[in-house]
């Protein structure tokens, strides 16, 4: 099948993590700390005692992928590593990993660079 003009092949892109603080919880799952910035967040922090940071708890698949996002591996390589780790449980691996990366990008947790290959 021919790729349409202007269509992005996410499997060829290289995800790059944003400068977020992260750690692992007791179960080994990744927890991201996202700073709540902007005027409305500051007002909510001051008047409604909202936290300055939001903790985003990832599930096991995301927790496996997050430390592997190093700015060198493509989405395809990351999907293959996930397939090796989880086997049939991760299927259909390519659409799942692409959708995961798109969601992470929409929240600005990662950005994409073109592959050097």
**Could you report the per-residue pLDDT of 12-69, keeping only the tens digit for each?**
999 999 999 999 999 999 999 988 778 877 787 788 888 888 899 999 999 999 999 9
pLDDT at 39: 86
Element housing 99 (H / E): helix 93-106
The residue whose two tokens read 């990008």 is 105
Give the DSSP per-residue string, 6-25: T---GGGEEEEE-S-EEEE-
- Distance separating alpha carbons of residues 75 and 24, to the nearest angstrom: 22
- Distance separating alpha carbons of residues 42 and 34, to the nearest angstrom: 14
pLDDT at 73: 96
pLDDT at 4: 64
Domains and CATH numbers, the chain: 10-114 (3.90.930)
Q: Within 49-92, where are the H helices? A: 60-65, 75-86
- Distance separating alpha carbons of residues 94 and 11, to the nearest angstrom: 8
pLDDT digits (tens, 9 = 90+) for 92-103: 999 999 999 999
pLDDT at 38: 82
Instruction: Give the CA dihedral 19, 108, 34, 15, nearest 10 degrees.
Output: -50
Of 106 and 113, the structure prediction assigns the larger pLDDT to: 106
């Amino acid at each position: 099948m021919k790729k349409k003009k202007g269509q992005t092949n996410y499997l060829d892109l290289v995800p790059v993590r944003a400068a977020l603080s992260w750690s692992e919880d007791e179960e080994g799952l990744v927890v991201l700390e996202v700073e709540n910035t902007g005027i409305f967040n500051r007002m909510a922090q001051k008047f409604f005692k909202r936290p300055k940071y939001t903790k985003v708890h990832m599930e096991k698949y995301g927790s496996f992928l997050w430390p592997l996002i190093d700015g060198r591996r493509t989405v395809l390589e990351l999907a293959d590593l996930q397939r090796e780790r989880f086997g049939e449980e991760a299927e259909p691996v390519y659409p799942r990993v692409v959708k995961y990366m798109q969601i992470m990008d929409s929240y600005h947790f990662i950005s994409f660079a073109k592959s050097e290959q």
